[in-house]
């Protein structure tokens, strides 16, 4: 199987999974179950990842990559913390613009209002803890396996590792925005307003994987971002409530965050020297055009559904 065929298969699988889960999560957005939605995401992503491994005949140890350097994992998480403010600044700005142009979404359902159950078990008393478990640990693990362990290497074999990191980052942004669990608070963001922030964290995680060769650094970055979003988002927006997006306070925090991320990446690069890549010719036009089209279709589907909701 040629490189373009393998990469095309991986992209189609990931894009099809994202669109399917977006339709599923939209259909279940106003249901009274919550844990079931996380379980469905986890099972679907795991099945697609296993299917891609079988088709490519890649053992799990190869997908996992080399043993992660503990310090690099910490640095990847630190870089994600630095860019966390940038991502939320972009997402809140996008939401503000959409509210004025299209209209506002209905307020999400508080997690305490779900009579959550799974296989006959009453999970309502532990609903928040289960959400943290899925959103911060289990789903980021499977997403790292699928996106940074399977998709990014396939794109790297075709485009080169440097280009593939940026392409994977964009794909990750669309994937995370489409597959997020909807209409619950507190939760990770979902919908069109979240797309720019997810692209930021997706590119950061993909670049960490590019530097280290290990998808575990992608997991560390994405999991840290998810945890920080639950832990500090309310404090962030309480502090900056009513302030314009170009306020000195916002810009100072963004500047510090970017500086932290740059220093952390420099340290990762120093600890993980990578061999120079050979020069590559332009990739086949079919995938070069098909990949952006898939991402565009994913974003367009989100726009149509969200315009209707707003």
Closest-CA residue to 190 (of 182, 198, 202): 182
**Could you say which DSSP state residue 284 is in?**
P
Q: pLDDT over 90 for what percent of the chain?
A: 43
Q: What is the pLDDT of residue 229?
A: 95
Q: What is the mean pLDDT of residues 125-135?
A: 91
**Between helices 248-271 and 195-212, what is the axis angle to 10°?**
20
Q: What is the pLDDT of residue 282?
A: 54
Q: What is the mean pLDDT of residues 193-218?
A: 93
Backbone angles phi, psi at 218, to 5 degrees: -65, -40
Distances in whole angstroms, Cα of residue 112 to Cα of each of 79, 119, 124, 196, 287: 33, 19, 7, 29, 45
Measure the CA–CA gap between 240 and 252, rounded to whole angstroms.
Answer: 12
Residue 145, pLDDT > 60, answer: yes
Q: CB–CB of 174/18 below 8 Å?
A: yes
Distances in whole angstroms, Cα of residue 243 to Cα of each of 135, 209, 249, 254: 30, 36, 9, 14
Mean pLDDT rounded to a whole number for the chain: 85
Highest averaged pLDDT of the listed ranges 10-19, 97-106, 225-234: 225-234
**Could you say which DSSP state residue 191 is in?**
S
**Which tens digits make up the pLDDT trace of 22-36?**
989 988 988 888 889
Q: What is the pLDDT of residue 82?
A: 94
**Per-domain boundaries in the chain:** 3-309
Q: CB–CB of 283/158 below 8 Å?
A: yes
Q: What is the mean pLDDT of residues 173-195?
A: 90
Q: What is the mean pLDDT of residues 79-101?
A: 92
Higher pLDDT, 87 or 8: 87
Q: Which residues contact 100 (CB under 8 A, 6 or more apart)?
A: none
Q: What is the pLDDT of residue 87?
A: 96
**Which tens digits make up the pLDDT trace of 250-271?**
999 999 999 999 999 999 988 8
């Amino acid at each position: 199987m040629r490189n373009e065929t393998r990469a095309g298969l991986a992209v189609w699988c990931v894009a099809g999974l994202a669109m399917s889960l977006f339709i599923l999560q939209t259909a279940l957005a106003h249901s009274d179950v919550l844990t079931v939605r996380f379980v469905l995401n986890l099972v679907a992503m795991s099945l697609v990842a296993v299917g891609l491994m079988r088709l490519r005949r890649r053992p799990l140890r190869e997908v996992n990559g080399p043993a992660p350097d503990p310090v690099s994992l910490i640095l990847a998480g630190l870089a994600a913390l630095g860019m966390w403010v940038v991502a939320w600044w972009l997402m809140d700005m996008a939401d503000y613009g959409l509210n004025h142009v299209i209209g506002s979404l209905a307020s999400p359902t508080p997690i305490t209002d779900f009579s959550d159950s799974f296989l006959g078990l009453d999970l309502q008393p532990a609903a928040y803890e289960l959400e943290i478990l899925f959103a911060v640990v289990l789903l980021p693990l499977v997403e790292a396996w699928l996106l940074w362990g399977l998709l990014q290497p396939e794109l790297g074999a075709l485009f080169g590792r440097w280009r593939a990191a940026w392409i994977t980052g964009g794909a990750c942004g669309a994937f995370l925005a489409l597959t997020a669990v909807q209409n619950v608070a507190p939760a990770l963001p979902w919908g069109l307003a979240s797309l720019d922030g997810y692209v930021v964290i997706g590119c950061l995680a993909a670049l960490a994987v590019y530097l280290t060769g290990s998808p575990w650094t992608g997991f560390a970055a994405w999991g840290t971002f998810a945890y920080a979003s639950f832990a500090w988002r309310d404090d962030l927006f309480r502090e900056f409530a009513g302030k314009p997006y170009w306020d000195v306070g916002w810009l100072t925090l963004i500047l510090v965050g970017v500086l932290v991320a740059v220093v952390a990446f420099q340290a990762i690069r120093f600890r993980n020297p990578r061999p120079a890549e050979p020069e590559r010719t332009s990739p086949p036009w079919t995938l070069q055009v098909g990949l952006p089209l898939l991402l565009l279709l994913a974003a367009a589907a989100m726009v149509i559904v969200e315009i209707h909701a707003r």
